[in-house]
């Protein structure tokens, strides 16, 4: 496993891996898989009419309301 630094050079130091790419090698030393863990651009879901942050806020609000309803039904709130 190797990390990639800001200049695109391979490094073993995870703290220097600011580019956000991990390269895994097979037994012969050939790159097997590259994994990016920092996304440079924000992806939008085509089926979602609002931004992802707004959608997640609505999901959070729905979960809180569901939690309160269950609490009211069980007499805990």
pLDDT at 70: 95
Residue 41 in domain: no
Number of domains in the chain: 2
Residue carrying structure tokens 């630094």: 5
Residue 57 in domain: yes
Maximum distance among all Cα pairs of the chain, rounded to whole angstroms: 63
CA gap 42, 52 in Å, rounded? 9
Q: Are residues 6 and 29 in the same domain?
A: yes
pLDDT at 63: 98
Q: Are residues 32 and 57 in the same domain?
A: no
pLDDT digits (tens, 9 = 90+) for 5-52: 767 777 777 766 665 667 777 888 777 776 766 555 566 677 888 888
Q: Please give the structure tokens belonging to residue 52.
A: 């992802």
Q: Which residue has the higher pLDDT, 67 or 52?
A: 67
Q: How confident is the model at residue 74 (pLDDT cuts 50, 70, 90)?
A: very high
Q: Which residue has the higher pLDDT, 77 or 74?
A: 74
Residue 44 in domain: no
**Residue 54: domain span:** 50-77
């Amino acid at each position: 496993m190797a990390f990639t630094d800001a200049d695109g050079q391979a490094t073993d130091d995870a703290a220097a891996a600011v580019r956000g790419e991990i390269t895994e090698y097979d037994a012969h030393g050939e790159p097997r898989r590259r994994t990016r863990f920092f996304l440079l651009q924000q992806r939008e879901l085509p089926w979602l009419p609002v931004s992802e942050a707004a959608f997640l806020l609505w999901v959070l609000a729905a979960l809180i309301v569901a939690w309160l309803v269950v609490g009211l039904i069980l007499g805990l709130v």
